[in-house]
Amino acid sequence: MIQQDSSDYGEWEREILAYRQEFLEKGDSINGSRGLHHYEAIEGWLEQIRDCAFDNNSYIGVPVTTFLALRKESGRAEGIPHIVGNIEIRHRLNPALEELGGHIGYSVRPSERRKGYAVRMLRETLAFARGLGLERVMLDCDADNTGALKTILKCGGVFEKDTLCEYRGKQIRNRHFWISLT
Ligand SMILES: CC(C)(COP(=O)(O)OP(=O)(O)OC[C@H]1O[C@@H](n2cnc3c(N)ncnc32)[C@H](O)[C@@H]1OP(=O)(O)O)[C@@H](O)C(=O)NCCC(=O)NCCS
């Protein structure tokens, strides 16, 4: 585990930065990571993840819980597991998230895609959402993002609507889904 009160994150820092680097090299954004791509050292990133976990401190106005998905590596006796993905849950919606973002955002490391991790991560996070007392969650994605569409549908997503919106300077068709947790 990362010692949250320590400034020596050691091997975790190397792993997280290597994870980030893989997205940057591919020109991919790291959806659902609380902006990991902005951080060249993890201390500031961890600090804002801690801040965002609480209502009063979260800069997006709702509490957010951020997870890393880890795979234990066989043959790697010491050290930390391999990071395969990240996922975050916003504990409630606000008008901005209703339009773009929804309750849950996630990414899988480029070299670990098409192995079922996104579906597993989303299922685990839906269980967490149920634990928060949510009865349903909203997810959205670019209507051209086949991987995300299939992931959401496999986890019980029901289509609500398509909207046109601006995302990173591009006009996209944003597809909204709801997943019931009851
Ligand atoms: C979308 C993303 C999370 C999918 O992750 P993944 O781990 O590869 O997904 P899974 O392996 O769990 O696959 C889920 C389903 O989608 C399909 N799929 C995944 N990527 C696909 C692609 N590029 N094209 C077509 N189908 C794809 C899988 O085949 C699987 O369907 P199947 O079981 O019917 O075969 C990953 O591509 C990613 O990180 N993209 C960038 C960030 C992003 O778009 N996040 C989602 C929006 S917030």
44 assigned to some structural domain: yes
Taking CA 159 as the corner, what is the angle to CA 135 and CA 139, rounded to the nearest 5 degrees? 55
How many residues would you count in the chain? 182
How far away, in angstroms, is 154 Cα from ligand 1 center? 11
Counting ligand 1 atoms within 8 A of each CB, the residue from 107, 111, 121, 170 with the most, and so the one to mutate, is 107
Atom 21 of ligand 1: nearest residue by CA position: 147
Asked if residue 176 is part of any domain, the answer here is no
> Would you say residue 157 lies in a domain?
no
* Cα 152 to ligand 1 centroid, rounded to whole Å: 9
- Does residue 34 fall inside a structural domain? yes
Burial class (CB in 10 A: 0-12, 13-18, 19+), 72: exposed
- Total of domains in the chain: 1
Nearest Cα residue to atom 17 of ligand 1: 147
Q: Residue 161 domain-assigned?
A: no
**Is the beta carbon of 144 within 6 A of some atom in ligand 1?**
no
Distance (Å, whole) CA 93 – CA 102: 7
User: Is the distance from the beta carbon of residue 108 to the nearest atom of ligand 1 less than 6 Å?
Assistant: yes
- Domain-embedded: residue 141: no
Where in the sequence is the domain holding 16, given as residue range(s)?
10-133
With a 6 Å cutoff on the Cβ, whether 92 touches ligand 1 is no
What is the three-class DSSP state of 63? Answer: coil
37 in ligand 1 pocket by Cβ < 6 Å? no
Q: Which of 64, 82, 114, 154 to mutate to test the pocket of ligand 1 (most atoms within 8 A of CB)?
A: 114
What are the structure tokens assigned to 42, written together?
A: 């993890």
Domain for residue 75, yes or no?
yes
pLDDT tens across the length of the chain (182 residues): 455 555 557 788 999 999 999 999 999 999 999 999 999 999 999 999 999 998 777 788 899 999 999 998 766 656 678 999 999 999 999 999 999 999 999 999 999 999 999 999 999 999 999 999 999 999 999 999 999 999 999 999 999 999 999 988 889 999 999 999 99
CA distances to 28, 29, 93, 96, 146 from 173, in Å: 18, 18, 20, 16, 13
**pLDDT reported for residue 74:** 65
Is residue 169 one of the residues assigned to a domain? no
